[in-house]
Amino acid sequence: MQANENVAVVMVPFPAQGHLNQLLHLSRLISSYNIPVHYVATATHSRQAKLRIQGWDPLSTESQLIHFHDFPTPDFQSPPPNPLSSVKFPSHLQPSFNAALLLREPVAAVLSELSPSAKRVVVIYDSIIPSVIQDVASIPNGEAYSFQSVSTFCISSYYWEMVGKPLGMDDDIDKEIPSGGILTTMTSEMMELLMSQSEYRKYSSGTLFNTCRAIEAPFLDVLAKVNDKQWAIGPFNPVELCKNATKQRYNYFDWLDNQASNTVIYVSFGTTTTLTNEQIHAIAVGLENSGQKFIWVLRDADKGDIFVGDTRVCQLPEGYEERIKLKGQGFILRGWAPQLEILAHVSTGGFMSHCGWNSCMESMSMGVPIAAWPMHSDQPHNALLVTKILKMGVVVKDWAHWDELVDSLKIEKAVKELMASKEGEELRKRAMELGTAIKRSMAEGGDTQREFDGFIAHICR
């Protein structure tokens, strides 16, 4: 496949797993249009993104059009994750987040290198760090597009007072949207970083969303009133997985293969969540007492550099791991797991999740209902979207009680409701219908495919 040399795309991700992952998936989708993509990050974060990619073949033809520009990792000192922190936002990663702003010079160098030989240099950057791409303004053939890594429901809720609520929005749902108490979802240090970037948002020529009208049509309509140009081109993750994508066969897939359809709940709280030993104990008891089959990814939050230093080993009740294996009830996974492939497995019938947008999109596109347990940032909004608006999930932890321990009885009840009740069957049916609608939107003539074609036509004009 010969590359389209008229346009070069430069991808600039934010250095957290969900952000790195989304823009690497987007790189693959754009490269499938014969357009070379240049993924600009520190060497550490490029390595992290490539190590954890799943669902597609890194050796495929379009993947050869993705060029990684690995820059030295800035010197920063990140403390270990703190499970006793009053706010679940990963404040230990703040030094890494701040260091990402030092990528401005490397990004400018890539733009200058590509500009002479391309008709147009298109920068797609994470909306959290627009200052990093500000030099696009000095490139005569350069233009930039902001990528929003969160749901349009979350973003649009900040505009309702100005442009009006979406049609059909229930007042009761509106009352549950987190407001005012932003420090319950985020730290003051992260808020300072976001505020420091405000003046650089002027460099954006349009906005990209990892969503589609099948999921968020009313909220996209709200944002269309405030955005001159926007494209809903998600999900970025594959909805049909490449069978040759996984380099190694994990032993728990053999166990999954032997379980009945829709009988296993997958439990994972993402790469930025750290839980106390008391909360881990409650989850363990709740899962076991539910009597349901489960796969639980029990790991601490990512460090600023996942490749160095020791990682905390989360403690379980004595004899727990051996007992659930002996009963055949489940698996405990201590490291990173190929989430997309687990969600796609026919035996997986539910997902207990922190409701990060990456996880929500993967679960929705695979037709798997969610037991929602938000931890920080946009996650309370996403949990509300999943449970009250899309009606494909149950609440494990209500955000009104964000700072409270979730006891084992509440966890047991949520698991049973999702996996072993008539209500759970309805949620599963709704999730499957939504997954089908998402796949339809990505097929030829579907909403997402039309929007993606439209975006490619726009940058190749």
Q: What amino acid positions are annotated as catalytic residues? A: 19, 126
Tokens matching residue 182: 């932003």
Residues 6+ positions from 42 with CB-CB distance below 8 Å: 15, 70, 71, 72, 73, 74, 103
Direct distance between the N- and C-terminal alpha carbons of the chain, in angstroms, rounded to an integer: 21
Closest CA to 155 of 451, 362, 376, 378: 378
Can you name the residues that pair with 69 across neighbouring β-strands?
Answer: 40
Angle between helices 422-442 and 447-459 in degrees, nearest 10: 40
The 3 state secondary structure assigned to 293-357 is EEEEECCCCCCCCCCCCCCCCCCCCCCHHHHHHHHCCEEEECCCCCHHHHHHCCCEEEEEECCCH
**Whose structure tokens read 């969503």?**
211
Contact between 98 and 194 under an 8 Å Cβ cutoff? The reply is: no
What is the C-alpha radius of gyration for the chain, rounded to an integer number of angstroms? 21
Q: What span, in angstroms and rounded, lies between the C-alpha atoms of 177 and 187?
A: 18
Length of the chain: 461
In order of 238, 239, 382, 429, 448, the CA distances from 365 in angstroms are 9, 6, 15, 13, 13
Contact between 198 and 175 under an 8 Å Cβ cutoff? The reply is: no
Tokens matching residue 378: 């946009």
User: How many Å separate Cα 147 from the centre of its chain?
Assistant: 13
Residues 6+ positions from 217 with CB-CB distance below 8 Å: none
Can you name the residues that pair with 370 across neighbouring β-strands?
Answer: 351, 393
Tokens matching residue 440: 């339809």
